[in-house]
Amino acid sequence: MRKIVIHINKLFYLLLLLLISSCEHDINSTEQQGGGNDSDDKVQIEIFTRAHSYDLPSTRAAENDISMTPWVLVFKGNGGSATFVEAVQAFEMVGKRYVILTKQSSKCQLLILANTQSKFYYNNDNANGYVFNETNLNTRLSGVTLADACSKLLTEPLASPSLTIIPYSGTGEIIPMSAVLEVNKIDNDTKIQNSDPSKGALLLTRAVARIAVVNTADNFELNGIMALFNVPRQGQLHNYSNSIMNNTSNLTEYQGASDYSTPLVAASVVTEGQSTNSNPIYIYESNTLNNTYMIIQGKYDNKDYYYKMAIVDKNLNAIDLSRNKSYTFTIIKAKGPGYDTMADAKVAKPSNVDLDFKIIVDDGDSYEIIANNDYYLGVSNSVYITYSDVDNIYNAFDLITDCTKVFPDTRNITDNRGEVSGAFSLSSPVDGKIPVVTGGVASPRITTVRVFTYTWLMYFENGQFENGVEKNNAYITLKLGNLEKQVHIRQRQAINASGTVLEYRPTDSYPYPGTYPNLMDYHCLTGQVEDGDDNPKNWIKLRPSTMVEREDTERIIVEDGQIFIEVLPNTTNNRRRGTVYLTTVMSNGSSVGGSSVKRIKIDITQKG
């Protein structure tokens, strides 16, 4: 009997070994497919994605959620002129995203669409939707270029003339996101991830903007946002051109109730006052032509009033609402009563003049972030360039952090003035310490870092030599715990009243400022002129290297790495200032560590 049991056990173990061997063969086969050997013309690729941040940290977890089955639309060729090839939906396997694409031997553009709705709409049509599937995408996009497809692929339209539920605010609802990635070819070595390998995952951009109102005034109490008017019903699935689609004939209204008896969003009590930040409003991109505005309700002098708030900046200039940006309107002081009824507020002029307020526009692209498992540290730009002819203090960059720890030794902001003969210095924070989130301060904490520069700072840069020794760059160094970030500080001469063209483009050698005062060695990706007191968008124009006329000179995307900044002649006697932001791939000589994709802040002073 004992021998029989032994034989049975041996048979059992033999069968188990055969089963394990079979499983291993299946696993190895699957892994081999994952390596791209499905067939001769197909390749299986893993997708690495994460969401850009609105602001850090987010107030709704779903703001960052990405489905496991995004769509990948392949366009063959260069930039926006690339032509549609195929649309393939990714699939999930062992907790990872994969997509099977047709191999391509030349450059392609991949349009990634995540969190898609059940239908897509096409070419300004808000009546006829198409089920989001491969057949419909292939039919609609056959022979279409990437730029054309992005301008025509639209979200599902919102209800009209009004709706009482804020889009994407329900439990489990996720926000449509997108990205475009250029690859040199599609084969076994292709990776769908950030073009900057140090950042890993491909950053997706949300199709909507985010709006919140905060009150810190001691003579006003915010009850909530009653309604949002002239709201776009649709948005593009991906904005490739960086301009906002025209929705003037396709608008709706967000309202809490048809009779306005309840607020659309009630304010919550927070440390500094009241806020709607925990219940944000999401809105498709809206340009100034739509005249989007909101009506808030609040208590002033112990009585409830309605205030009409236009979407304007601190100078009361109308602004666009752009995708993936967070707009926080903070009421600082109430100057007087609003209107007694919603009906009166709707027909009245905006009440922004009756409320002292500031607006913070937070863009995930506005910060270069480094992080550990505990906190993060970011800067708005890692290069600051001032065109100036006056020794002065300038706002070089903003730093942002959610750190709550007061490190005793590594919470420093320092300069290297000793290495550049005192040509610049840190001006503020005066104590040289990074402010962190303590004592009831809202998170994240944003601090402006200011520097003092002399007009001869331009003569202290890598690439310049004195007695055979290369000179140093000027840096501000941030160190918070084990996180460290550097910002390069540069200077050139102020622009003459006659105007000029500043060339930001790759060069073969260092452009010495005395010989090439208008040339900077950077490989540029995008550019944008900021709003300002001196109306810089009227006299600073962004051009491609061909210098051709363009309708939109406030923003630009280029493929050849070259952005030219045209400064028009100043016909007045007054000096004027303006700011331009560029995103670039840093040249080897200018790299300041970290990821290679950087933001540059350019402060331009023009003589009168």
Per-residue pLDDT reduced to its tens digit, 353-378: 667 776 666 554 567 878 776 888 88
Position with higher pLDDT, 67 vs 589: 67
231: nearest Cα among 176, 316, 159, 169: 159
Q: Token pair for residue 341?
A: 């009824």
Q: With bands split at pLDDT 50, 70 and 90, how would you rate the model's confidence at 57?
A: very low
Segment 139-150 mean pLDDT? 96
Identical fold between 40-205 and 207-360: yes
Least confident of 16-30, 300-314, 460-474, 564-578: 16-30
The pair phi, psi for residue 46, each rounded to 5°, is: -85, 145
Q: With bands split at pLDDT 50, 70 and 90, how would you rate the model's confidence at 36?
A: very low
CB 163 within 8 A of CB 231: no
What pLDDT does residue 205 have?
86
In the predicted model, is pLDDT for residue 32 greater than 50?
A: no
**Cβ neighbours around 187 below 10 Å, total:** 14
What pLDDT does residue 76 have?
96
What pLDDT does residue 39 have?
57
Q: With bands split at pLDDT 50, 70 and 90, how would you rate the model's confidence at 296?
A: very high
Q: What is the pLDDT of residues 72-96, one digit of tens each?
A: 999 999 989 999 999 999 998 887 8
How do the domains of the chain map onto residue ranges? 40-205, 207-360, 366-604
- Mean confidence (pLDDT) of the chain: 85
CA distances from 473 to 138, 460, 464, 591 (A): 52, 6, 10, 10
Segment 30-48 mean pLDDT? 60
What pLDDT does residue 19 have?
41
In the predicted model, is pLDDT for residue 203 greater than 90?
A: no
What pLDDT does residue 235 have?
95
What pLDDT does residue 56 have?
35
Segment 311-331 mean pLDDT? 85
What pLDDT does residue 348 have?
87
CB 439 within 8 A of CB 432: no
CB 311 within 8 A of CB 361: no
Classified as helix, coil or strand, 320 is coil
CA atoms within 13 A on the CB side of 190: 30
% residues pLDDT > 70 (the chain): 84
Cβ neighbours of residue 531 under 8 Å, at least 6 residues apart? 313, 315, 317, 319, 537
Fold of 207-360: Immunoglobulin-like (2.60.40)
In the predicted model, is pLDDT for residue 20 greater than 70?
A: no
Q: With bands split at pLDDT 50, 70 and 90, how would you rate the model's confidence at 198?
A: very low
Segment 566-594 mean pLDDT? 76
Which amino acid is residue 165, in one-letter code?
I
Could you confirm whether domain 40-205 is CATH 1.20.1260?
no
Helices (H), 125-211: 134-141, 146-152
